[in-house]
Amino acid sequence: MVNLFEEIFTYEFMIRALIVGSLVALCAALLGVSLVLKKYSMIGDGLSHVAFGALSIALALNVAPLYIAIPVVIIAAFILLHISQNSKIKSDAAIGLISTVSIAIGVITISLSKGINTDINSYMFGNILAMNQSDIILSVILSLFVLVIFILFYNKMFAITFDEDFAKATGIKANRFKIVLSILTAITIVIGMRMMGTMLISSLIIFPSLTAMRVCKTFKSVVITSGIISVICLFFGVILSYVYSVPTGACIVVTNAIMLVLFSITKKTIKI
Amino acid sequence: MKILECENVCINYDDVRAVDNVSFTVEDGDFVCILGENGSGKSTLVKGILGLEKIQKGTIKYLNGIKPNELGYLPQTTIVQKNFPASIYEVVLSGCLNSKKIIPFYSKKDKQKALEMMKKFEIDNIKNKSYQELSGGQQQRVLLARALCASRKLLILDEPISGLDPVITKKMYQKIKDINKQGMTIIMVSHDINYAIKNASKIIHIKNKLLFEGTPKEYEKSEIGKLFLGGCHHG
Ligand SMILES: Nc1ncnc2c1ncn2[C@@H]1O[C@H](COP(=O)(O)OP(=O)(O)OP(=O)(O)O)[C@@H](O)[C@H]1O
Ligand SMILES: [Mg+2]
């Protein structure tokens, strides 16, 4: 075990994966609490599919994925948010449409561009080697940005998630907050998509908060616990992925799922 | 000094007109009671004033520098989803949020205010308990405390005493009177007509349309007032 850790920390790619991974896991878990409670987690799922389309186009054009994916996914976030607020359109159906169109575009782009490495598995289910030197700095800066904004918006996040009507009635700009939430979600999904895989990144948003809510009864404790759970699950997931050479995203989903089961079992005995 | 002016306000739910051509004004320091039978549009009118329901026709204006972030609100019903993780303290404290300007964190003063309100409604001893695990009356007290934290100039209460036991009702009424004396304007939807007549400075009676606007004395003498009071005494 000790040898394994020593070995892991001699590889630069592992250190990169752990640094960026933990930051993304933390961001996703914190945002996830509000997204899950507000029933917006489908938006996260839709955005991750848009990210897949954007990623494949970026790789076909041979551009750094973050530069294309960030604006595209943020625009998609605005569209999805608008749809979900407009009760006349069925929002889950609309998210389904946008998701499938994005996947279709992505798959077509990948099949057409034979010149590049077409390892579709790693786009979809994650790859530990995904973060290169140039990605890491931008990813760290962006995730720190998400964390700072989250902290600044924390109290609003609680108030609006708990009772949007009261917040609106007492002069809090709830719509502005939703825009911020969707931009932060879009950024988090894009940073995490290479490592987690575009099909699995949304699990990072949903799992930790659900797990924390098994046991915790206050908003603050749910937020803190889900952040911690998420980072722990990421750590073990990355190590599993390294040891067995399987897609990183899939491993992290599995560790999260195990954690959810463990917490569900303890639910009856502990309450924080 | 007028602080609120409603002119020919109409509010619809699809084809149903819930509030029909209602006009009235609220003065600074007023204690306005809105009366009317079930389904007469009281809650809808209040939501219109708060900007939660769209006004079909007419205007609602805040005057003399009253801003939405200076008012507190107690909804008639608050639907919080099952198992929402929130402690009593977190909910009450969130009432202080609308007074925050640049710094988005609660100050010591905010926390003291929240604590004071919780003491008032005797929920300070269970402040870390989950909101979802409270009884209906206890939840009502939490939301009242939150409303009081949020209000600095205007307090809008939609049936504040529904579900409260007699002891807390009395305290609640006392509290409302006290803060009104300290200068807070209050708009209260109520079915407690006797309390309204004794304490309000203005009574508004609606049945979708405005039926009466005036002082409690005038209300007692009016046709509609006599009818409603009669119904109350015998029923
Ligand atoms: N969300 C809604 N959708 C459709 N119709 C509604 C809605 N809310 C209220 N109504 C209708 O509008 C009318 C006024 O309702 P409102 O809740 O304002 O009455 P109220 O005076 O507050 O009654 P109560 O004393 O029972 O609280 C009623 O006829 C009601 O059926
Ligand atoms: Mg009502």
Task: Spell out the SS3 assignment of chain A.
Answer: CHHHHHHHHHCHHHHHHHHHHHHHHHHHHHHHHHHHHCCCHHHHHHHHHHHHHHHHHHHHHCCCHHHHHHHHHHHHHHHHHHHHHCCCCCHHHHHHHHHHHHHHHHHHHHHHCCCCCCCHHHHHHCCCCCCCHHHHHHHHHHHHHHHHHHHHHHHHHHHHHHCHHHHHHCCCCHHHHHHHHHHHHHHHHHHHHHHHCCCCHHHHHHHHHHHHHHHCCCHHHHHHHHHHHHHHHHHHHHHHHHHHCCCHHHHHHHHHHHHHHHHHHHCCCCCC
State the Cα–Cα distance between residues A198 and A214, nearest whole angstrom.
Answer: 27
Task: Please tell me the residue having the least CA distance from ligand 1 atom 30.
Answer: B39
Task: Tell me whether residues B52 and A171 touch, CB distance under 8 A.
Answer: no
d(CA A76, CA A185): 11
- Model confidence at B232, pLDDT cuts 50, 70, 90, reads low
Instruction: Write out the residue range of the structural domain in which residue A152 sits.
Output: 2-262
Residue type, B171: K
The protein residue whose alpha carbon is closest to atom 26 in ligand 1 is B38
- Do residues A64 and A74 make contact, with C-beta atoms less than 8 angstroms apart? no
Q: How many helices (H) and strands (E) does chain B have?
A: 8, 9
Task: Report strand pairing: B57-62 vs B2-13.
Answer: antiparallel
User: Is the residue at A12 inside a domain?
Assistant: yes
Look at A166 and B146 and tell me if their CB atoms are within 8 Å.
yes
- The span from the first CA to the last CA of chain A, in angstroms, equals 32
User: Tens digit of pLDDT for each residue in B201-223?
Assistant: 999 999 999 999 999 999 988 88
Q: Under an 8 A CB cutoff, do B75 and A155 touch? A: no
Domain-located, residue A23: yes
Element (H or E) spanning B212, and its range?
Answer: strand B209-214
Query: What is the distance between the alpha carbons of residues B186 and A55, in angstroms, rounded to a whole number?
Result: 56
Higher pLDDT, B101 or A221: A221
Domains in chain A, number: 1
What digits encode the pLDDT tens for the residues B147-186?
999 999 999 999 998 888 998 898 889 888 989 999 999 9
Burial zone of A107 (CB within 10 Å; 0-12 exposed, 13-18 middle, 19+ buried) = middle
**Structural domain contains residue A272:** no
* Digitized pLDDT (tens) for each residue of chain A, 272 residues in all: 678 888 888 888 888 889 999 999 999 999 999 999 988 888 888 999 999 999 889 888 888 888 889 999 999 998 888 877 776 667 778 888 889 999 999 989 888 886 555 567 777 888 877 777 777 888 899 999 999 999 999 999 999 999 999 999 999 998 888 889 989 999 999 988 888 888 888 899 999 999 999 999 999 999 999 999 999 999 999 999 999 998 889 999 999 999 999 999 887 766 55
Phi, psi of A197 (to 5 degrees): 90, 140
**Nearest Cα to A222, choosing from A137, A134, A162?**
A162
Token digits for A12?
């630069």
Instruction: Tell me the three-class secondary structure of B36-101, residue by residue.
Output: CCCCCCHHHHHHHHCCCCCCCEEEEEECCCCCHHHEEEECCCCCCCCCCCCEHHHHHHHHHHHHCC
Closest CA to B93 of A176, A163, A271, A20: A163
Stretch B17-32: mean pLDDT? 94
Distance B162 CA to ligand 1 centre (A): 16
Confidence of residue B235 (pLDDT cuts 50, 70, 90): very low
Element (H, E) at B12: strand B2-13
A35 min Cα distance to partner chain B (Å): 13
| CB proximity B52 to A under 8 Å | yes
How much distance in Å is there from the Cα of B139 to the middle of ligand 1? 22
Gap between the Cα atoms of B147 and B139, Å rounded: 12
Task: Determine the distance separating the centroid of ligand 1 and the alpha carbon of B11, expressed in angstroms.
Answer: 11
Ligand 1 atom nearest to B159, measured from its CA: 27
B83 interaction partners in chain A (CB closer than 8 Å): 213
| B46 contacts on A by Cβ (under 8 Å) | none
Residues A178-208 have pLDDT tens digits of 889 989 999 999 988 888 888 888 899 999 9
Residue A99 lies in a domain: yes
CB contact under 8 A, A169 and B91: no
Smallest CA separation from ligand 1 atom 6, residue: B13
Q: How many CB atoms lie within 10 A of CB A90?
A: 11
Query: Which residues of chain B lie closer than 8 angstroms to A167, CB-CB?
Result: 97
- Residue B102: CB partners within 8 Å, gap ≥ 6? none
| Residues of B with Cβ-Cβ distance to A153 under 8 angstroms | 104
Q: Is residue A271 part of a domain?
A: no
Its pTM stands at: 0.89
Q: CA angle, corner A254, sides to A253 and A256, nearest 5?
A: 65
Interface test with B, best of A161, A163, A213 (most B CBs within 10 A): A163
Looking at residue A15, which CATH number applies to its domain? 1.10.3470.10
Residue B188's closest CA among B174, B175, B203? B203
Nearest residue by C-alpha to atom 25 in ligand 1: B38
* Smallest-distance ligand from the CA of B192: 1
Q: How far is CA B135 from the centre of its chain?
A: 21
| DSSP H/E element including B233 | helix B223-234
Residue A193 covered by a domain: yes
